[in-house]
């Protein structure tokens, strides 16, 4: 109907046909139409592209990976046509955004790292703070890929704060994924980066009024100690873990015991016997049965009993 009515007005014909094709069940037809977006937008002009084409694309969700990637490839061309990255980002519904990010290495080759960072950063931030925790979880999984593509400097300036915010998310799965994300980022950027950019913030959480966030400090130590190595673990992280043995919440105290058991083999003889053993001895006589159990188990495993 749209295509036939457009025949009488040549200026309306391209967009009408394009929209019909984008709604077609044929994946290949949709793919071919996506690849014509920039050409047709140029013919339409800025105003009609904004008013007629972008709203349609914003409301359209494509499930096929090849179609989504083809849409991503049009971002670089759309930016000058519609007057900036704000309008380009209108194209990116959550499903499209996540797919683009999952194919970031391919997209980077098409539109370049500068345009990529400008166009996708608002989308990344929105996804990272999305009300649906599964969307937040999905973007966390892509964060190491983003870090590799965008580089350390850009990451530190634009994305580091997002990664730290996940550690205090109200959903446990997000806090857990955020912890694993820090490990992957530290593996990618190196232990010096972790020591300067991550560890101080993680250790500061040990004083958080919410005991769940204090426990996240311990989970992060468990995730980071191997990447960071003996020196950083002993000098930076161990003192905080030992201090947390006096936490008023039993769940925190028995997680201290479990953490000491895990990092113990990394430590030299002196800190293990002179600092860790006295703390575990005290916890092994704790009033809480779980704290006592895990402390005694740690003493046995570390051969300190």
The enclosing domain of 92 has a CATH number of 1.25.10.10
* Domain carrying residue 14: 1-128
Asked whether residue 60 carries a pLDDT value surpassing 90, the answer given is: no
Average pLDDT estimate for 68-77: 61
Number of domains in the chain: 1
**Does 123 fall in a domain?**
yes
Among candidates 234, 240, 249, 167, which has minimal Cα distance to 203? 240
Q: Assign 104 a pLDDT band (cuts: 50, 70, 90).
A: low
How high does pLDDT run on average in the chain?
Answer: 81
Asked if residue 249 is part of any domain, the answer here is no
Of 140, 232, 151, nearest in space to 191 by CA: 232
Please check the confidence at residue 227 and state whether its pLDDT lies above 50.
yes
Q: CA-to-CA distance for 202 and 219, rounded, in angstroms?
A: 10
Is residue 211's pLDDT more than 50?
A: yes
pLDDT of 37: 75
**Is residue 293 in some structural domain?**
no
Q: Give a yes or no: residue 114 inside a domain.
A: yes
Does 45 score more than 60 pLDDT? yes
pLDDT digits (tens, 9 = 90+) for 186-210: 999 999 999 999 999 999 999 999 9
For residue 14, being part of any structural domain is answered with yes
Q: Which of the pair, 3 or 252, is modelled with greater confidence?
A: 252
Judge whether 264 lies within some domain. Answer: no
Residue 50 domain-assigned? yes
281 inside domain: no
């Amino acid at each position: 109907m749209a295509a036939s009515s457009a025949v009488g007005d040549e200026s309306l014909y391209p967009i009408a046909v394009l929209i019909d094709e984008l709604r077609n069940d044929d994946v290949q037809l949709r793919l071919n139409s996506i690849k014509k977006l920039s050409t047709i937008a140029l013919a339409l002009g800025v105003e009609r592209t904004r008013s007629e084409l972008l709203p349609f694309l914003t409301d359209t969700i494509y499930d096929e990976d090849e179609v989504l990637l083809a849409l991503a490839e049009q971002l670089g061309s759309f930016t000058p046509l519609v007057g900036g990255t704000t309008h380009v980002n209108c194209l990116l519904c959550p499903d499209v955004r996540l797919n683009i990010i999952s194919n970031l290495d391919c997209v980077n080759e098409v539109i370049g790292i500068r345009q990529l960072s400008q166009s996708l950063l608002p989308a990344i931030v929105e996804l990272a703070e999305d009300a649906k925790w599964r969307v937040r979880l999905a973007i966390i999984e892509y964060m190491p890929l983003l870090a590799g593509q965008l580089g350390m400097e850009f990451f530190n300036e634009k994305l580091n704060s997002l990664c730290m915010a996940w550690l205090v998310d109200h959903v446990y799965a997000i806090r857990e994924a955020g912890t694993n994300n820090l490990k992957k980022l530290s593996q990618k950027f190196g232990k010096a980066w972790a020591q300067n950019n991550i560890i101080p913030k993680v250790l500061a959480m040990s004083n958080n009024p919410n005991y769940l966030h204090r426990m996240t400090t311990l989970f992060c130590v468990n995730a980071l100690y191997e990447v960071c190595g003996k020196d950083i673990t002993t000098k930076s992280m161990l003192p905080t873990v030992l201090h947390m043995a006096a936490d008023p919440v039993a769940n925190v105290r028995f997680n201290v015991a479990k953490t000491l058991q895990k990092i113990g083999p990394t430590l030299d003889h002196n800190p293990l016997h002179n600092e860790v053993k006295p703390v575990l001895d005290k916890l092994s006589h704790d009033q809480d049965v779980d704290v006592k159990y895990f402390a005694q188990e740690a003493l046995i495993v570390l051969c300190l009993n």
